[in-house]
Amino acid sequence: MSIIRSLKQLLIVCLLSLPVLGHAQANDEQAQSLLTQLAESSYGQKGKIAGEIARSGDERARGWLEAFSAGKLARIEPSKGDAEGSGKFVIVLSNRGRNWKVQDALTGDDLGEISRRDLDSIRVNNSLRSEIDGILSVIDLTVNDADKRLAAARGLRGNVDEAMAKKLTELMASEEDADVKATLNEALAIYKVEEQGDLSAVKTLSGSLNSEARAALNSATYSDDPALKQAARDALASIETKLKWNRAAETLYFGLSLGSVLVLAAIGLAITFGVMGVINMAHGELIMLGAYTTWGMQQMLPGQPGLALILSIPAGFLVSALAGVAIERSVIQFLKGRPLETLLATFGISLVLQQLVRTVISPLNRTVVTPDWMSGSIMVNEALSLTLNRLYIIGFALVVFVGLMLIMRKTRLGLEVRAVTQNRAMARSMGIKATKVDIMTFALGSGVAGLAGVALSQITNVGPNLGQNYIIDSFMVVVFGGVGNLWGTLVAGLSLGTINQLLEPWAGAVLAKILVLVFIILFIQKRPRGLFPQKGRAAEG
């Protein structure tokens, strides 16, 4: 009885499987037919057949169309190959060498390697690729992920045809996401302007920053319809106004990022210059050491650029601080009160440090890898994107500035530094060890220069001459903001960075620097002590 019962169960399973097997066989027959038409038809017909494949509802359709667009859809030639595989459609997985690795397009089975001479690739051209991209976008508009639907909708702009326009109208009716719906409406409006000269569609595109929308409006300005032509011109004028504001915002952003770099480069110099009155021409090389520390940390931690960068912050500070103490103890302490000799001596040190790096490491520039979390950009809109590495540098500069302000306002070191800055003789008489303050101040200022180097390594190549590109700008920031004043350094750095970025587009990089220098010279004639002058008897003297 158990045997009979088992046979009955097996029979039931077989009967239930017949419709499924029959359905799968029917699907495979339809797929084989469509792929055969795709292979044998002309370029003019391939697009239509690709659309039929997309509308077939087959889950494998996207893979076939992607392979076709990439030139990796092929058929085993009937006259070649074995009898079983003749005429079979395959997707090429690897097309290197004589034998290509392929898989069955219908079943997905791995067929191993087949000689490329036995394969007949289904040819595709650029026009078809563009058409297929649009077809794939329509397929993606039916997925559950709103972000994928939005990306697909963006890809349709400029690629809509008559058949697709009807499909988009249906999809818009059921679309719940507002951004996706607006983007689909824009794609449909571009089609209507280009193909139908629709006046209401021009109004839809009047605020768009998309390049395809602007191209459609630009073509409409050559229309024979006066109303359409004028509406397109008005729409383009409104778009151009928005583009100008976005370009201004982008320039301001780049100016603030450049200003943040200048603040980091100059703030350490402002401390040492304000307390000790030392013109340290080796300050740029202390920045360079911080950048090379970042590169060195990445060599010690290969494959972990994020961790290496985080560890480079304290390491860069420490390396440059120790180098600063060495410079102060070996040279500067013997030249106090002689600014010209100090300037020449530190200039010589800068040359020694540059040559030391060239000899020990290399005269060639080194590239520091940017971590993934600092790569890419934030897209505000289609005309404005903010690069993440510069955004992080702006934030880093502000954190360093706040940290220094807390040190100067809330610690004993800060109190002693302010005392020595205002009146060195009086500070000595109160028991403050000015020599110790000088060492700690120079170490602090040099360490901050190292932090500037860590930040700079993320936006430029690291090389022996890195610091020389910022030393003059750093002195200009210090003089413009007021010697020894941190708030002045912040305001001056951000201001000069923004002014320089505004001037560069029309004056050029070199002339912009000259104009900034002339501006500072004229400003100092009126306010010799800068924006925020020092207070105290030393300042008055």
* Residue 122 clears pLDDT 70, i.e. is over it: yes
CA gap 478, 230 in Å, rounded: 54
pLDDT value at position 110? 86
Closest CA to 473 of 263, 188, 206: 263
pLDDT value at position 537? 47
Element (H, E) at 394: helix 388-410
**Tokens read off for 294:** 């970042």
**Across residues 191-217, what is the average pLDDT?**
85
Beta bridge partners of 381: 384
**Across residues 185-206, what is the average pLDDT?**
86
Label each residue of 253-289 as H, E or C: HHHHHHHHHHHHHHHHHHHHHHHHCCCCCCHHHHHHH
Give SS3 for 445.
Answer: helix
Provide the 10 A C-beta neighbour count for residue 12. Answer: 10
Provide the 10 A C-beta neighbour count for residue 465. Answer: 14
**Across residues 256-269, what is the average pLDDT?**
87
* Residue 300 clears pLDDT 70, i.e. is over it: yes
* Residue 119 clears pLDDT 90, i.e. is over it: no
pLDDT value at position 29? 80
| 404 burial level (CB within 10 Å; 0-12, 13-18, 19+) | buried
pLDDT value at position 140? 76
pLDDT value at position 13? 35
Confidence tier at 393 by pLDDT (50, 70, 90): very high
pLDDT value at position 64? 85
**Across residues 170-178, what is the average pLDDT?**
82
pLDDT value at position 14? 38
CA gap 361, 376 in Å, rounded: 30
- Taking a C-beta distance cutoff of 8 angstroms, is the pair 498, 447 a contact? no
- First vs last Cα of the chain: how many Å apart? 116
* Angle at which helices 412-422 and 226-276 cross, to 10°: 80
**Tokens read off for 313:** 């912050």
Closest CA to 530 of 265, 274, 257, 258: 274
pLDDT tens by residue, 303-330 = 888 899 999 999 999 999 999 999 988 9
pLDDT value at position 79? 59
Please state the separation of Cα 321 from the chain's center in Å: 32
- Taking a C-beta distance cutoff of 8 angstroms, is the pair 208, 186 a contact? yes
Least confident span in 152-156, 247-251, 532-536: 532-536
Whose structure tokens read 């390594």?
A: 457
Beta bridge partners of 99: 115
Backbone angles phi, psi at 121, to 5 degrees: -70, 140
What percent of the chain is predicted at pLDDT more than 70?
A: 91
pLDDT tens by residue, 18-56 = 343 334 444 778 888 888 888 888 887 887 888 788 777
pLDDT value at position 288? 93
Helices (H) and strands (E) in the chain, counts: 21, 7
* Angle at which helices 434-456 and 283-300 cross, to 10°: 60
Domains of the chain in start order, with CATH, are 72-121 (2.30.30), 127-245 (no CATH), 246-363+390-535 (1.10.3470)
Give SS3 for 165.
Answer: helix
Residue 480, sorted as left (phi over 0), alpha (psi -120 to 50) or beta, turns out to be alpha
pLDDT value at position 524? 76
* Residue 125 clears pLDDT 80, i.e. is over it: yes
Q: Which amino acid is at 500?
A: N
Residue 71, sorted as left (phi over 0), alpha (psi -120 to 50) or beta, turns out to be left
pLDDT tens by residue, 78-96 = 655 444 556 788 888 887 7
Confidence tier at 379 by pLDDT (50, 70, 90): confident
pLDDT value at position 293? 94
DSSP symbol at 69: H
Beta bridge partners of 120: 75
* Residue 148 clears pLDDT 60, i.e. is over it: yes
pLDDT value at position 146? 83
pLDDT tens by residue, 473-532 = 888 888 888 776 788 888 888 888 888 888 877 777 778 778 887 888 787 777 777 777
Mean pLDDT of all residues belonging to the chain: 81
